Chains A and B, each alone.
Chain A
Amino acid sequence: MNFPILSVTLFAPLVGALFILLIPRDNVNTIRRVGTAFALLTLILSVTIWVNVAQAGGGGMQLEEIYPWIPAFNVQYHIGVDGLSAPLLFLTALLTTLVTFYSSYAIDERVKEYYFLFLLLEMGMTGVFLALDLVLFYVFWEIGLVPMFLLIGVWGGARRLYAAIKFFLYTLVGSVFMLLAIIGVYFQTGTFDILEIAAAQPFAGNFTWASIAFWAFFVAFAIKVPAFPFHTWLPDAHTEAPTSGSVILAGVLLKLGAYGLIRITLPFFPAQFRYFVLDVPIIPIMAVVSIAYGAMVCMAQWDLKRLVAYSSVAHMGYVTLGVCAAAAGFGSLGDPTNFSAAASGLNGAAFQMFAHGIITGGMFFLVGMIYDRAHTRDLQVFGGLGKQIPYYYGIVMVTGFASLGLPGLAGFWSEFFVFRGAIRFIPVAAFIGVLGVVFTAAYILWKVVQHLFLGELDKEKWGKLTDMTWWEKVTMWPLIILMVVLGFYPAPLLNSFNAAAMAILQALP
């Protein structure tokens, strides 16, 4: 038998978390090092997994592990990885590593609990990306919820309790829908196995029931994505969360919803998905409104963190739009042009999940860095900082340009491939959605860059502001490098996603 690398990767953070419990709480440096070491270990493992998957082509599940778990209900411990989940696994491990490293210098309060929760959170997120059994998927989905609730509620800002409870209840409502749908699907097909259910096409003959199950899953995922109008938990949660919490929240947690759309909703109910994209276009409208409306709401923000939070709504709208394009192609995939367009939509969506993770994750780090110095995030009080903190200025410029989808940086590919897929099947949505690109440019360059860095410097107020420290640079550089390298040469990521997308589309009936 083979080395169970997936399980090891999955539970390494848990081991780390338990290990941290054994360390006395006064030994903060030890806790920090151990936490970071375990996160780094997981990162190395995730790279190994991605390399393995890439060598095998990336289409279809690999490195699968199946063990009976609750035989009475046919629940299995079934995990596996393909070209879609391997990069997301890497993203999770990378951001967790950066967060644990950065927090070693930025967090002094309740360090032990903090690291314990982050490692637990990492296990939950990894588990969602690996799970191929709905019960397992659900369990990990919920495991991720608790640490984030506590991270916001304990280490958060002034309104942290309100934000934490809102976040918790909101996602929990989504989870309830999902749980009901999981049970419904189980009674229909007799299995919890994601691949088997996809092959069985639950409720295929019954439009009403299929639609109900479809929407139950869809709402659960749409809340997490978040798609308009289910997004209002996000600005609160992000604004109140500590820097690292925001990074993980934007970088990974939102992707869980998007991942669910691709891994579960699309393969389970392709006909329903297509129906609500083409015949009754509710979902493209949600996507396009998220993009354009979300970007416009960003333009109205004066709190930098809140602005970045709302930008996630807009950016994740591209993911939904890309999945819509793929769903719209269902039924006509025999035509290679349509097939490639549908694959483009999925590629764009997946690429956006990754790109948004590194870009917006980076953005939240940068917001935290300026807040730690200036103790304010009000864009109206800044100005002219470009001269005072040029290094920070440069890093924000690159990240900001990546965020507005500038070609040559990672964010471009997602937008381009989403539109390339969408214009084939839902051209009107593409034509409207593209407006978001202009508004994004406007709020990044006008609101963020101009208000922070340009204009004349108030020497008395900001003359003592210091530029980035070495650990802040170390935190940001991996993200910057990824943005630039993927911007010019997206192949490593794109090939992986494309192989998975082709496998997913080919598996559709």
Chain B
Amino acid sequence: MEILNLAWLIPLFPALAFVAIALFTYRSRALSHWVTISGIGLAFLAAQVVFWRAVTLPVKGGEHAFESAIAPWVIAGVERLGIGVYVDPASTIMLFMVPLVCMMIFIYSVGYMNFGTPEVDPRYSRFFCYLSLFAMGMLGMVVFNNLLAFFIFWEIMGTCSYLLIGFWYDKSYPDPDKITPKEAGLKAFIVTKIGDLFFMLGLALLYAQVGSLAYHDIFAPETLDQLAHTQFLGSTAATWIALLLFGGTVGKSAQFPLHVWLPDAMEGPTPVSALIHAATMVSAGVFLVVRTFPIFQVANASVLAVGGIPFVAFIGAFTAIFSSIMAIAQDDIKGVLAFSTISQLGYMVAALGIGAYVAGAFHLITHAFFKALLFLGSGSVIHGVEHGHHIIHEHAHGEHAAHGGADKHGRHEEQEGHSHEDVEGWFNPNDMKNMGGLAKRMPRTFWTFLIGGLALSGFPLFTAGFWSKDEILAQAFELSPAVFWTLGIAAGITAFYTMRQICLTFLGKPRTEAAEHAPESVSWMTVPLIILAIFAVSLGWAGIPEHFPVIGGIVPNWFHHFVGATIETAESGHAARVAGHFAETAHGFVWQPLVLSVVFALGGLGLGWLVYGRRPLVAGEMDPVEGAMRNVGLGWLYEAMANRFYFDELYQAVIVRPSIWLADMFDAFDYGKSGGHGVVDGAVMALGSIGKLMSEVSGWVDDKVVDGLVDLAGSAGVLLSNGFNGFDIKVIDGAVNGVGKAVKGGGKAVRPIQTGKLQDYLLLASFAVLALILTFFVILYLQI
């Protein structure tokens, strides 16, 4: 039996873990995290089996895709959509990455949520429960054979994202303008939901056009051909479907203009930021484009093209540079990484937009590892600084106690664990200005973070990030110079802010007491860092271009061969129709992009070192870039960068507040406020009043005119009735009373059976039903 048939087990393990924790083991913290880790561990093993089987699967007609037997699932008219497992290169590489990264992050979470210490999170088990559900969503999205299942699991992930961002839902800050976790979770859900609406409409349209959402149906050459030639609302169906699906990507992968949710998503616990908002879920948006790439290929690229750049590539490239600029001015250690994530996702989207399918997919995988590493590293830093702060605080508390002063707040903080309020003013452990010099205090964290940072910057030859980014740039160089230069400059900025982050966090002297006392994190946290760091370096070797000088060809470019096969198969069917710039480039070596890519990476890092590394920042000092910009009158620009170009304020003013206002207006229109009637209800009530008026008029007529006649008739009747009176009293009343007596008697007769015991009544009820049924039979018998 083909082992790939069992790929559906991969999401099942975390699903079972979720159910087990939610229903049974939530009372035990240790059991809960072991259930979660076992669930993902089993999923990882199963995924490894699938992975190695899939890469060795004999190639059938150039196709690597494997589809299992199909079980019936949903039906619409005469169309049946079954569900089964689908394993192709795109899902295979995801199955390699997702369980591994998830497992590392789950293990790390045990340390991060302070397991085994008095500060352990009060909802520790619930956290692991949600993590398992998330893993199920991500893996389920990958393994099934149709886009509808993809969407279901995609939304389940979105829900987990909501739940986990708002995990500390009771947290509040002294600064009322600072977004709280509960608000951040809501914002993330609503903003991504806007993208998902487009996705859902795209699915509905695709389903309505094709009659199926199974991959083998929608990517069949005839289907694609038909979609490309069906007219729909002024364009082709394929174009509409591609644009609508891309809406889902824009929401989930935080592309401009729906990027606003991701920086705020950092309100969640750091493992969540690493897992969901950097490594896996946000890349699901990119994976959607990878998955539905054939549809994008047949879409009419000129629709909505901006300046000759295809729409998808334009959004990606713009997002890449736009958010890397904002990253420069962030002081929050996770904030920098959040904008960097948006920017890197923009890279992938831009790559896919210009048709560089393999390069986009490759960067998706390498980015997952080094960005998870960076986030976990930053979490380790935050955790250390927080503990450093606690150490000082407890010390101070001890002194207070010695002076006989009861420090209520100190105790409160111990209880709450993660409430950062402080009597003396709020200490922000995420702020890089509060760090400095941590390299000595936290060596393991430092070295692994450095590796992650270099990978993100695309440090030449040594890191995975270099190989994947270089591949994107090389393709962009040939396919679209505008995209190349945008991405290249963004790469330089990325290297710059990464160096800034490393310097501010780890170099120089500690700028606060908390940083001075920060301890290195526990092994639960540092071991995953080391493992991820290994992948952040070695993964690049899977995709070294064969024509690369000196080292090219030593290791075969496995990634390109394996993943590229899908698209080459698809292309061979459509070569004629695919526009020239959508084709995969020739595999020859071109030196200019390589040189430029090295220049951008090293230039950015070097500049960062010059500004922040040579003379580290001391406490209270202004950021040198901010200072320089203020000196030349660009302070407003720095402010704008730090404030994310005021997009939150803009959306608040243009969308959120008007919606709420409109809702209130509609409510007033509908029903009205405080006793009065709104227009809709008022109209009904007015109609009612007319009816009432009419009834009153007729009532008057009735009273005066009709009653007069009736009275007349009545008088005659009275005379008659007096005559009948004797008969009435004796005969009719007698009959009525008789019935009354009979009923009383019947009641007495029934009373004994009301014994108050349930079984008696059930028995009686059964008899009654039996009697009813019998009656029916009798009636039926009589009629027939």
B56 interface residue per 8 A CB criterion: no
A129 interface residue per 8 A CB criterion: no
B211 and A340 contacting across the interface, CB-CB below 8 Å: yes
A455 and B170 contacting across the interface, CB-CB below 8 Å: yes
Contacts of A412 in B (CB 8 A): 152, 155
A301 and B201 contacting across the interface, CB-CB below 8 Å: no
A420 and B204 contacting across the interface, CB-CB below 8 Å: yes
A457 interface residue per 8 A CB criterion: yes
CB distance from A186 to the nearest CB of B (A): 24
Contacts of A490 in B (CB 8 A): 74
Within 8 A of B (CB), among A452-498: 453-457, 488-491, 494-495, 498
Contacts of A232 in B (CB 8 A): 670-671, 680-681, 684
CA distance A498 to B73 in the complex (A): 13
A205 interface residue per 8 A CB criterion: no
CB distance from A434 to the nearest CB of B (A): 5
B13 interface residue per 8 A CB criterion: no
Most chain B CB inside 10 Å of its own CB: which residue of A37, A344, A407, A421: A407
B322 interface residue per 8 A CB criterion: no
CB distance from A352 to the nearest CB of B (A): 15
A430 and B204 contacting across the interface, CB-CB below 8 Å: yes
Contacts of A488 in B (CB 8 A): 152
A158 interface residue per 8 A CB criterion: no
The one of B76, B209, B776 in contact with A7, judged by C-beta atoms closer than 8 angstroms, is B776
Contacts of A344 in B (CB 8 A): 76-77, 208
A450 interface residue per 8 A CB criterion: yes
Contacts of B670 in A (CB 8 A): 232, 293, 297
CB distance from B576 to the nearest CB of A (A): 26
A116 interface residue per 8 A CB criterion: no
A-contacting 9-mer, from B488-496, B556-564, B767-775: B767-775
Contacts of A456 in B (CB 8 A): 170, 172
CA distance A434 to B663 in the complex (A): 17
A19 and B170 contacting across the interface, CB-CB below 8 Å: no
A8 and B772 contacting across the interface, CB-CB below 8 Å: yes
CA distance A386 to B209 in the complex (A): 45
Can you pick out 19 interface pairs between chain A and chain B where the beta carbons lie within 8 Å of each other? A30-B754, A30-B756, A34-B761, A228-B680, A296-B659, A296-B662, A297-B666, A298-B663, A340-B76, A340-B77, A343-B77, A387-B170, A407-B153, A419-B201, A437-B200, A445-B190, A454-B166, A455-B182, A456-B172
The one of B662, B664, B681, B780 in contact with A4, judged by C-beta atoms closer than 8 angstroms, is B780
CB distance from B127 to the nearest CB of A (A): 14
B207 interface residue per 8 A CB criterion: yes
**Do A434 and B200 contact each other (CB < 8 Å), given the known contacts A407-B156, A424-B208?**
yes
CA distance A342 to B211 in the complex (A): 12
Chain B positions near chain A (C-beta within 8 angstroms)? 72-79, 148, 151-156, 159, 162, 166, 169-170, 172, 182, 186, 189-190, 193-194, 197, 200-201, 203-205, 207-209, 211, 232-233, 659-660, 662-664, 666-667, 670-671, 680-681, 683-684, 688, 750-751, 754, 756, 758, 761-762, 764-765, 768-769, 772-773, 776, 780, 783-784
Contacts of B204 in A (CB 8 A): 416, 419-420, 422-423, 430
A347 interface residue per 8 A CB criterion: yes
Contacts of A70 in B (CB 8 A): none
CB distance from A331 to the nearest CB of B (A): 16
**Do A454 and B761 contact each other (CB < 8 Å), given the known contacts A232-B671, A419-B201?**
no
Contacts of B190 in A (CB 8 A): 438, 441-442, 445
CA distance A170 to B162 in the complex (A): 41
The one of A29, A67, A427 in contact with B233, judged by C-beta atoms closer than 8 angstroms, is A427
B77 and A407 contacting across the interface, CB-CB below 8 Å: no
Contacts of B772 in A (CB 8 A): 8, 11-12, 15
Contacts of A406 in B (CB 8 A): 155-156, 159
CA distance A170 to B691 in the complex (A): 12
A336 interface residue per 8 A CB criterion: yes
Contacts of A27 in B (CB 8 A): 754, 756
Contacts of A347 in B (CB 8 A): 75-76
CA distance A505 to B78 in the complex (A): 12
CA distance A448 to B296 in the complex (A): 39
The one of B152, B170, B200, B666 in contact with A293, judged by C-beta atoms closer than 8 angstroms, is B666
Contacts of A24 in B (CB 8 A): 751, 754
A340 and B78 contacting across the interface, CB-CB below 8 Å: yes
Residue of A nearest to B197 (CB): A434
A340-B76, A341-B208, A439-B663 known; 7 new pairs, CB 8 Å cut-off, are A229-B683, A296-B663, A299-B663, A341-B76, A419-B204, A427-B205, A457-B170
A1 interface residue per 8 A CB criterion: yes
Within 8 A of B (CB), among A210-240: 228-229, 231-233, 235
A407 and B78 contacting across the interface, CB-CB below 8 Å: no
Contacts of B155 in A (CB 8 A): 406-408, 412
Residue of A nearest to B196 (CB): A437
Contacts of A454 in B (CB 8 A): 166, 169-170, 182
CB distance from A394 to the nearest CB of B (A): 8
B169 and A408 contacting across the interface, CB-CB below 8 Å: no
A416 and B783 contacting across the interface, CB-CB below 8 Å: no
B169 and A455 contacting across the interface, CB-CB below 8 Å: yes
CA distance A27 to B758 in the complex (A): 12
Residue of A nearest to B72 (CB): A491
* Bitwise interface map of A from 396 to 429 toward B, beta carbon under 8 Å scored 1, else 0: 0000010000111000110111011111100100
A494 and B170 contacting across the interface, CB-CB below 8 Å: no
**Do A420 and B680 contact each other (CB < 8 Å), given the known contacts A434-B200, A441-B189?**
no
CB distance from A94 to the nearest CB of B (A): 19
CA distance A97 to B73 in the complex (A): 30
B761 and A300 contacting across the interface, CB-CB below 8 Å: no
Contacts of A228 in B (CB 8 A): 680
A33 interface residue per 8 A CB criterion: yes
A339 and B77 contacting across the interface, CB-CB below 8 Å: yes
Within 8 A of B (CB), among A1-50: 1, 4, 7-8, 11-12, 15-16, 19, 22-24, 27, 29-30, 33-34, 37-38, 41
CA distance A498 to B190 in the complex (A): 32
Contacts of B151 in A (CB 8 A): 407
Residue of A nearest to B233 (CB): A427
Contacts of B182 in A (CB 8 A): 450, 454-455
Contacts of B758 in A (CB 8 A): 33
Contacts of A298 in B (CB 8 A): 663
Contacts of A415 in B (CB 8 A): 200
CA distance A343 to B761 in the complex (A): 46
CA distance A160 to B100 in the complex (A): 60
CB distance from A484 to the nearest CB of B (A): 10
**Do A1 and B780 contact each other (CB < 8 Å), given the known contacts A296-B662, A300-B667, A347-B76?**
yes
B201 and A423 contacting across the interface, CB-CB below 8 Å: yes
B186 and A450 contacting across the interface, CB-CB below 8 Å: yes
Residue of B nearest to A313 (CB): B670
**Do A41 and B659 contact each other (CB < 8 Å), given the known contacts A455-B170, A455-B172?**
no
Contacts of B189 in A (CB 8 A): 441, 445
Contacts of B233 in A (CB 8 A): 427
Most chain A CB inside 10 Å of its own CB: which residue of B155, B664, B756: B155
CA distance A228 to B683 in the complex (A): 13
B75 and A491 contacting across the interface, CB-CB below 8 Å: yes
CA distance A37 to B670 in the complex (A): 42
CB distance from A339 to the nearest CB of B (A): 5
Most chain B CB inside 10 Å of its own CB: which residue of A7, A67, A297: A297
CB distance from B668 to the nearest CB of A (A): 8
Contacts of A450 in B (CB 8 A): 182, 186
Contacts of B154 in A (CB 8 A): 407
The one of A419, A445, A457 in contact with B186, judged by C-beta atoms closer than 8 angstroms, is A445
A495 and B75 contacting across the interface, CB-CB below 8 Å: yes
**Do A30 and B761 contact each other (CB < 8 Å), given the known contacts A170-B684, A406-B159?**
yes
A105 interface residue per 8 A CB criterion: no
A207 interface residue per 8 A CB criterion: no
Contacts of B207 in A (CB 8 A): 420
B152 and A408 contacting across the interface, CB-CB below 8 Å: yes
B73 and A491 contacting across the interface, CB-CB below 8 Å: yes
CA distance A406 to B688 in the complex (A): 40
